[in-house]
Amino acid sequence: MQKDRFQPTVEYSRLLDSEDELAAFRNEFYIKPDVIYMDGNSLGLLSKRAEKSVIDVLEDWKGLGIDGWTEGKYPWFFLSEKLAEMSANLVGAKPEEVIVTGSTTVNLHQLAATFYQPKGNKTKILADELTFPSDIYALQSQLRLHGLNEETDLIRVKSRDGRYLHEEDIIAAMTDEIALIVLPTVLYRSGQILDMKRLTAEAHARGILIGFDGCHSVGAFPHSFSEWDVDFAFWCNYKHLNGGPGSVGSLYVNRKHFGTLPGLAGWFGSKKEKQFDMEHSFTQANTAGAFQIGTPHVLSLAPLIGSFEMFQEAGINRIREKSLKLTQYMMDLIEYDLDAMGFTIGNPKDERQRGGHISLEHKEAARICKALKENGVIPDYRAPNIIRLAPIALYNCFEDVWKVVQILKTIMIEKQFEKFSNDRNVVA
C-alpha cells in the first residue's frame, strides 16, 4: 500500500479489500457478524478446516479405538512428524528439524536442559528484560537445577526506552561468561522484530549457543532458521497459527545438533521402529523428534491439520505482505483520526522491524480496552498502558481496521471509557 494513496474513508478500505488476494480465507473462519476480532496474536480464531480435522480424528478414535495410532485418516503415531512437515517452511527449516510437541514452556525447559551446559567461568544465561515472563521463570529454574543463582547468573539486557531492544546492547552483553542465549523473535508488547540472523552470527562468533522464542512471530512472517544457523527455537501454535486454546507447541533443532542427548528424555523421543521394543536403553530419533518427551496430545494436535493446510495454500510470504499492509493502514488511520487524543504508536513503524500487531499506548489503556469490548471490538491489554491490536491476514479485512479506528475515535470523543476502572481483568 503506497503512503501517497492513503484515504481515511470506508470506501478506500473496501477498495483495498477488493484487491486482497487472501480475501477468500476469511470465509474459512467462524467470525461473529457483530464482533471485530483484533486479538489473534493471543488466540487465533477457529477455522472450519480445523474443526473438520478435529472431527476426523474423533471419528478415527470412535471407529478404530487403539488402532487409530497406526490406521485411519491421520495415524496418531506419526501425526507430530506429519505436522512438522506441513509447517517447517514457516520457519525456514527442513521437516526433520521441526517437531510439533509439548507446550511453549515445556519445550523451553527441554531445550535449555539440553543446550545449557555451564562449565568453568561460562555459566550465565543471557535473556532480556522485555521478554515474556514464562521464559524467565523457566530459565531461572534451570539455573537453580544447576545450583546457580537465578539473579546473578541470569543476565537480562536492558531496554533504553521500555519499548525496544538495541541489538548492539545484546551483542555487548555476549561476554565470555555466557553459556546460552534465549531471546524472543518478536517482543510481545511492542511488536519489535529482532535481527535473528545478526544475533546468531554474533553469538556463534563468541562460541555461544543461541535460541529464540517464536510465539509472536511464527505464522505472521517468514523465518530462515536453518539458513541463519539458529541452534534451536520454540513456539506456540494457538496465536497466529490458529491451533486452539492450549494447542500443542513446536520446536526446532538445527540438524547439526542431531545426536545430542535430550536433557529431558522420554519414550516418544525414541526412534519410531525401536520405541515399542520397551528397552531400558534410550535409542533416540536422529531428528528433532528426539526432543519429544511424552505421548502427544492427539486431540490438541488435530486442529493444526486443517490450520496448517491453509497456511500451505496461502503462503507465508503473501500472509506477511497483507499483514504489513493492514498494520500500515491502521497506523495511517490512527495518525489521521486519533491525533491529539493522547495515543502513541509504540510499535516500530519500519516494516523490517514490525511484527504482526499494533502496540497503541495510552494512559487510560485498560479502560479503553473495556470500552472497545463493549463496542464489539476484541483487543488485548498489556499493563500498564498498551492496547494491542492484531489485524490477522487470514481473517481480518481492511474494513475491519477502518471500523476499529472509528470506534476508538467515538469512544474518546464521547469519553465512554470513563465509566470503567483503569485496571485489568483477571485475564488481560
- Residue spans of the domains in the chain: they are 3-30+316-419, 51-313
Topology adopted by domain 3-30+316-419: Aspartate Aminotransferase, domain 1 (3.90.1150)
- The answer to the question of whether 228 is labelled as a binding residue is no
Q: What phi and psi, each to the nearest 5 degrees, are found at residue 180? A: -155, 145
Check residue 2 and give its pLDDT: 53
Burial 211-229 (b: 16+ CB within 10 A, else e): bbbbbbbbbbbebebbebe
- The answer to the question of whether 336 is labelled as a binding residue is no
Check residue 4 and give its pLDDT: 64
Residue identified by cell 474513508 is 9
Contact predicate 304/50, CB 8 Å: yes
Q: What phi and psi, each to the nearest 5 degrees, are found at residue 416? A: -60, -25
Question: How many other CB atoms are there within 10 angstroms of residue 309's CB atom?
Answer: 17
- The answer to the question of whether 34 is labelled as a binding residue is no
Radius of gyration of the chain (CA): 22
- The answer to the question of whether 283 is labelled as a binding residue is no
- The answer to the question of whether 267 is labelled as a binding residue is yes
- The answer to the question of whether 175 is labelled as a binding residue is no
- The answer to the question of whether 132 is labelled as a binding residue is yes
Amino acid at 45: L
Query: What are all long-range contacts of 25-29, with beta carbons under 8 Å and residues at least 24 apart?
Result: 25/310, 25/314, 25/394, 25/395, 26/394, 26/395, 26/396, 26/397, 28/310, 28/394, 28/395, 29/242, 29/394, 29/395
- The answer to the question of whether 384 is labelled as a binding residue is no
Q: What phi and psi, each to the nearest 5 degrees, are found at residue 90? A: -65, -25
Q: Of 81, 119, 132, which Cα lies nearest the Cα of 248?
A: 81
Tens of pLDDT along the chain (428 residues) come to 555 689 999 999 999 999 999 999 999 999 999 999 999 999 999 999 999 999 999 999 999 999 999 999 999 999 999 999 999 999 999 999 999 999 999 999 999 999 999 999 999 999 999 999 999 999 999 999 999 999 999 999 999 999 999 999 999 999 999 999 999 999 999 999 999 999 999 999 999 999 999 999 999 999 999 999 999 999 999 999 999 999 999 999 999 999 999 999 999 999 999 999 999 999 999 999 999 999 999 999 999 999 999 999 999 999 999 999 999 999 999 999 999 999 999 999 999 999 999 999 999 999 999 999 999 999 999 999 999 999 999 999 999 999 999 999 999 999 999 999 888 787 77
Check residue 233 and give its pLDDT: 99
Pairing, β 386-389 against β 358-361? antiparallel
- Kindly report the CATH number that applies to the domain delimited by 51-313: 3.40.640.10
Check residue 3 and give its pLDDT: 57
- The answer to the question of whether 250 is labelled as a binding residue is no
User: What are the residues facing 252 on neighbouring strands?
Assistant: 98, 233
Contact predicate 317/89, CB 8 Å: no
- The answer to the question of whether 238 is labelled as a binding residue is yes
C-alpha cell belonging to residue 233: 527455537
Pairing, β 250-253 against β 98-100? antiparallel
C-alpha cell belonging to residue 423: 485496571
- The answer to the question of whether 104 is labelled as a binding residue is yes
